[in-house]
Amino acid sequence: MRHPSLALLAVSSLALAACDNTPSAPPSSASVVDEPPGIPVMGPERPILAFGDSLLAGYGLEDGESYPDRLEQALRARGVNARIVNTGVSGDTTAAGLQRLEFTLKNQSVKPELAIISLGGNDMLRSLPPEETRANLEKILQRLKQDDIPVVLLGMLAAPNLGKDYAAAFNPIYPQLADTYGAVLVPFFLQPVIDKPDLMQGDHVHPTALGIDAIVAATVDDVADALPQTK
C-alpha cells in the first residue's frame, strides 16, 4: 500500500536529515496514553536502550514527550518496571549510529535487557544507497547480538517519489534483517500518524505529542513482549 503523504517526508526542508534546527514548540495537548499507576511499580528494573535518530530524540517536543519517555510510562502503567535510556540523536544516519554504538554501549551503567533501534530514515531522505543502509544496520544488529541484547527494530519505508527501484531495494531491509537476527519488527514506525495532519508537526516528518502517544499505543505490546522473561 502506498502512503501518499510520505512524499512530504522526502521534500520537507525540515526533514530528519536537517533536524538540528530549533523548532517552535507544538501546542500542548492532553495525553492519550495511560499515565503511570499511583503506586510504585513492583519487580526488578528493566533497563532498555533507545538508540536512533530524531524520531527517538523527541525533535520538536517538550521534555517528557519523546517516544522513549512516553513508552516508559506506558510500560510502567502495564506493571513493567521499565527504565529507558534515550540515546537518540537528531540527524543520525545508520553510518553515524554505527559509529557511536560502541561508545553508547560502554557508557550504559547496566547492560540493557532490550534495545530499540530507529535508524534509516535519514539515509532514505538523503537517497543514500540502500546497500549502505543495510550493511550499517546489519553491523548494529550483529554488535547487539554479540552482547545477547534483544532488539525491537523500528522499520521505515521509502517515500514514493524516490521511485520504485529505490523502494524495492530499501523497503525489504528491515523485515529481512529482523528475520535474520531474530529482532522484533515494527514494519513502519510512523504508520499510526501518516495521513493524519493533526498528529504530525508542521514539517510533515515528526509526530506531535499526540502522534507520539498514538505510536506508543501501537507499539507498547511489541516492546513488552520483546523483553526477556524474568526468572
Count up the domains in the chain and report the number: 1
Question: Which CATH number fits the domain that encloses residue 80?
Answer: 3.40.50.1110
- DSSP bridge pairs for 207: 200
Catalytic choice (12, 54, 66, 90): 54
Residue 14 has pLDDT above 90, yes or no: no
pTM for this entry: 0.84
Percent of the chain predicted with pLDDT > 70: 82
Note whether residue 53 is domain-resident.
yes
| Phi-psi group of 152: left, alpha or beta (phi > 0 → left; psi -120 to 50 → alpha; rest → beta) | beta
- Give domain status of residue 186, yes or no: yes
pLDDT of residue 35: 54
Taking CA atoms, 38 is separated from 42, 80, 179, 213, in Å, by: 12, 14, 39, 20
Q: Tell me, what's the pLDDT at 2?
A: 38
Which pLDDT tens digit goes with each residue over 166-220? 999 999 999 999 999 999 999 999 999 999 999 999 988 899 999 999 999 999 9
Contact 33, 99 (CB under 8 A): no
Residues 53, 69, 203, 213: which is the catalytic one? 203
Q: What is the pLDDT of residue 1?
A: 40
Q: Would residue 23 count as lying in a domain? A: no
The amino acid at 226 = A
Q: Residues in the chain, how many?
A: 231
Among residues 53, 90, 92, 206, which one is catalytic? 206
Residue 38 belongs to some domain of the structure:
no
**Is the CA virtual torsion 162, 163, 166, 167 positive or negative?**
positive
What average pLDDT does the chain have? 87
Task: Please say if the pLDDT value at position 28 is more than 50.
Answer: no
Residue 206 designated active-site: yes
Give domain status of residue 221, yes or no: yes
Q: Is the pLDDT of residue 39 over 90?
A: no
DSSP letters for the chain: ---TTHHHHHH-TT-GGGTTS-PPPPPP----SPPPPSSPPPS--EEEEEEESHHHHTTT--TT-SHHHHHHHHHHHTT--EEEEE---TT--HHHHHHHHHHHHHT-SS--SEEEEE--HHHHHTT--HHHHHHHHHHHHHHHHHTT--EEEE-----GGG-HHHHHHHTTHHHHHHHHHT-EEES-TTTTTTT-GGGB-TTSSSB-HHHHHHHHHHHHHHHHHHSPPP-
26, part of any domain:
no
* Residue-wise pLDDT tens digits, 44-99: 999 999 999 999 999 999 999 999 999 999 999 999 999 999 999 999 999 999 99
Neighbours of 167 (CB within 10 A): 19
pLDDT higher than 60, residue 16: no
- 74 is in which domain, residue-wise? 6-14+43-225
On whether residue 27 sits in a domain, the answer given is: no
Is the distance from CB of 46 to CB of 85 less than 8 angstroms?
Answer: no
Residue 54 is a catalytic residue: yes
The answer as to whether 30 is a domain residue is no
Cross-strand pairs, 82: 46
